[in-house]
Structures are given as structure tokens and as C-alpha cells.
Amino acid sequence: MLLLVTLSWASSLTEVQDALAAGRCSEAAEAAKAWTAEDPTDPKAWRGVGDAARCTGNTPAALAAYRQALALRPEPGLQALVDSLAADYATVTLKIEGADAEQPPTVTVQDIGRTVRANGSALRDLSPSTKLVLEVSGEGYEPAAAPFTTGGPGSTKAVKVEVTFLGRGVVSLTGVGEGISVLVDGRPVEAGETSLVTGDHALVVKGATGERSVPLVIAEGETQSIDVSQLLPAAVTLLAIPEGTTLTFTAGPEPMDPVTTPRDEGELDEDLGIRIAPLQFEGLAAGEWVYTFEHPLLGSMEGKFFAVGGQVSAEPVAWRQLEGVATLTTAYTQYKATSGSGLGKDGWMALGGAAVGLAGVGLGAAKLFVAIEARSDAADAADRYAILVEDGDIETANLVYAQEGELRGTARSGLVVGTTVTGLGVAGVAVAVVTGKRFLANRDTTQWEPFDQ
């Protein structure tokens, strides 16, 4: 393993040095970057990054890489190079005033994109005698900009940055029971009081019914109490909603777009001739929801339901009280009576065929069973007859012979009748199947177009 690692860095070093020697600065930079990605603790890799940056003319980037190498392993020669190069640049130390001890701001040097967060941090390798702007940002801070001018080459200048911290508030969480978790800005938060900087936050509550994200606004010095169990999403099913219904929500804990139930879905209502299906809502905010029920055939009404956070519930909707229900029921009844949607010829033929089929198959099976039994008994009688003749009991043998003849006659007639009746039964079943399919096809409600009436 040690041999492999040694060969690896030796190969990387050779690649970087060969590219630098040939003046291929970009190639050297890519090789050095890949080297640090493979082993970020190797000071030679960072030295390669610095050399490649110098090759491209980016001395500040070279100094940053060299300092990284020195942090991993001090080297007098490299330190002397850093001191020499840094002498041409300026250094600025920041004194941040007004910052919160627990939540420092972010101070960024505009245009060069370098940031600090700690009071007393140094910004090295800045262009001398150059006007720059410090931008202040961060959670809980008033955004601000502070212009400054760097000193001369090799100088170190202190720059004071005054920031405005907007303060803190408290969120007090209750209702955090088993199976419920709470996140604020992606960080887990326990039940009880939590200090947060002022401003906007994202509160996410997770439970068995899913999760909901709600905005959380913290004001300075205020305590906001929240029962997170009421923030859990609710699941509500409205039972038996007719196809083509539109629910428009007029009041509720939060806005909701209108919902229209799809056509041709659900179970057919035999009285109305339209399909009925449950309508499910998930991820609802807890509270009372008020809606308008509108159907193009049945009419409109007001309705409401109450969603309980973290619970699954079902609610009936009293739309069958609408005046249009009776009208549609009458129209569908008339349609069935006049369009053959009742039994009709095909229906009665299907029923008759089924009756003949069942009776024929049953009676035929019984006759065939009798024929088989009679044939078996006749065979037994023939055997007895032979034995009696051999024993010389002619009188009894004649009686048995007569019995055998009767049994064979019964077997023949049973076979003929059973086969014939069974055939009729099979024909009846075939008639029932054919006419039954035609009956069902004619009864298909696609011929009934209530929404086009």
C-alpha cells in the first residue's frame, strides 16, 4: 500500500513539473487540483497548486496554496518565498463591531469573493492602494456595505466594520409527541424554547401522515408558542362524490385551488346513471374548510369539514338532498325503460337459456348416472347367470337373465335421454352466454349521456 501511495504522488509531481517546464500552466493547474482532491493532506500537492497559480499569473491564489502547504508542513524555503511574494501585497485586519457572539455575520470583499466570519480575521494578499467594498450579510443581520482602501505594499491595515444585529426571538414548541419531528431551517429542534435570530425561517413538521412546511417569522424579543401537532398534515376523504363535481374552497386555514372530480371514474350509481367515487385530500392544514359543491346536473350547495392535524378521517357529503337528484333519477329511469336497458328480449333469452342450461345439464347428468349404474348392474347379472347355469339352477338363471335384460334396457334409454338432455343444456348455456353478452353490451351506460342532456 505504501509503495502504491508513493508511486501515486511521484507520478502526480512529475506530471505537474513536466507541464510547468513546458509552460502548460492550465495543464499543471488541473493536475495539481486532481492531486489535492486525491490527497488533501499532502503539502507537495498544495505546493504544486501554488506553482501552477504563479504560472498563470495569479499570485494571490499561489500565496493561499503555499500557506496551505506550510500549515501542513513548515518549510523554511517555501516560507521565504511566501514572505517575498507577500511583500508586494497589502493585508487588512477586520474589527467587527455590533456582532452577535453566537451568530457572527459574513463579511465578503466585493469582486474578489473572499469572506471572513470571525472578529480579527485577516484578509491577506490584497492589491495595494486599492478601493474595495466589504459587504455584510448573514442570518439576523441588516445588509450593509463598507468601502475601504487598502494600504501600500507589505502594509497591514485595520478596518472597522460596524454591523447591525436585528436581535433574537424565542419559539416555544409544544405537542412534539412520539413519531413527530421538527426542523427549523433544516436543523432538528426539540420541544420547549429555542432562541432564533429575527427574520424568516422555515418550520417543517414531520409525522405519520407526512410533512408540512410553514413559514416562521421571528420578531425581536418576542416568544412565539406553536403547537406542532396542529401543524401536522391531515388526510380527509369526502365520501361518494359524483363525477364532474367541482369543489371551490371559500374558507380554510390556507388557500386551496378548486378541485374537479374526473369523469368516468368510480362505481356506477344504479339510480342516477353517473359514477360516484371518494375524493381524497392529503397534506391539508388543520382546521375548518368551507367549500361550494357544484354539479352541472345535480345543483350546488355549501359544505364544510374539519381536518385534524396528524389524523386520517372520512366525511360524508349530503349532495343527495339536492333537487337535481330527483330529476336525474327520473330521466335515468325513463332511459332504462325505453332503451332496452331493462331485461328486454336479450335479457329474457339469457335468463331462459341459463335456466334451460342448468336444468338440462343437471337432468342429463342424473340420467347418465342412472344409465351407468344400470349397465354395471347388468354386467353383474350376466356373471350370476353364467354361474347359475353352470350349477344347474336353470329356473333361477332364467329370472336373472330377465333382470339383466331389463337393466340393459334401462341403461340404453338412460344413455339416450341423458345425452340428449345434456346437449340441450349445453345449448341453453351457449344461448345464455351469447345473449347475456349482448344484453350487457346494450346495457353499457356509455349510451347514456347524462351530461349531454
What average pLDDT score do residues 174-181 get?
88
Query: Does residue 27 carry a pLDDT above 60?
Result: yes
* Ranges 99-113, 148-162, 266-280, 301-315: which has the least confidence: 99-113
What average pLDDT score do residues 115-140 get?
89
297 vs 320: CA distance, rounded Å: 12
Strand residue runs (E) in 285-407: 287-295, 299-307, 312-315
284 vs 308: CA distance, rounded Å: 9
Q: Write the burial class of residue 303 (CB in 10 Å: 0-12 exposed, 13-18 middle, 19+ buried).
A: middle
Backbone dihedral region for residue 192 (phi beyond 0: left; psi -120 to 50: alpha; all else: beta): left
Q: What's the pLDDT score for residue 447?
A: 72
Residue 380: other Cβ atoms inside 10 A? 13
Question: Residue 343: pLDDT band by 50, 70, 90 thresholds?
Answer: low
Please list, in sequence order, all residues whose beta carbon lies within 8 angstroms of the beta carbon of residue 327, skipping any fewer than 6 positions away. 297
Q: What's the pLDDT score for residue 451?
A: 82
Q: What's the pLDDT score for residue 256?
A: 93
Query: Does residue 381 carry a pLDDT above 70?
Result: no
Query: Does residue 227 carry a pLDDT above 60?
Result: yes
> Mean pLDDT of all residues in the chain?
84
Q: What's the pLDDT score for residue 445?
A: 46
Q: Percent of the chain at pLDDT above 90?
A: 52
pTM: 0.48
Residue type, 445: T
365 vs 328: CA distance, rounded Å: 49
Angle between the 394-442 and 344-391 helix axes, to the nearest 10 degrees?
170
Per-residue pLDDT tens for 229-246? 888 899 999 999 999 999
| Residue tagged 347367470 (cell numbers) | 385
139 vs 168: CA distance, rounded Å: 11
* 407 phi/psi in degrees, rounded to 5: -65, -40
Question: Residue 6: pLDDT band by 50, 70, 90 thresholds?
Answer: very low
Taking the alpha carbons at both ends of the chain, their separation in whole angstroms is: 83
User: Strands 234-242 and 275-284, how do they pair?
Assistant: antiparallel
Of residues 261, 286, 278, the one with CA closest to residue 210: 286
Q: What's the pLDDT score for residue 346?
A: 58
| Residue tagged 468601502 (cell numbers) | 147
Beta bridge partners of 122: 93
Q: What's the pLDDT score for residue 324?
A: 93
294 vs 242: CA distance, rounded Å: 10
Per-residue pLDDT tens for 401-449? 677 677 677 767 766 666 775 666 566 566 656 665 665 555 544 478 8
Of residues 275, 241, 276, 273, the one with CA closest to residue 259: 241
Query: Does residue 226 carry a pLDDT above 70?
Result: yes
Question: Residue 345: pLDDT band by 50, 70, 90 thresholds?
Answer: low
Q: What's the pLDDT score for residue 420?
A: 75
Q: What's the pLDDT score for residue 130?
A: 93
Which spans in 268-343 are helix H? 323-338
401 vs 380: CA distance, rounded Å: 11
| Residue tagged 417543517 (cell numbers) | 204
* 191 phi/psi in degrees, rounded to 5: -65, 155
28 vs 262: CA distance, rounded Å: 63
Angle between the 25-38 and 43-56 helix axes, to the nearest 10 degrees?
160
Helix (H) or strand (E) holding 60: helix 59-72
400 versus 99: the higher-pLDDT residue is 99
Q: What's the pLDDT score for residue 16?
A: 86
Please list, in sequence order, all residues whose beta carbon lies within 8 angstroms of the beta carbon of residue 263, skipping any fewer than 6 positions away. 243, 244, 275, 451
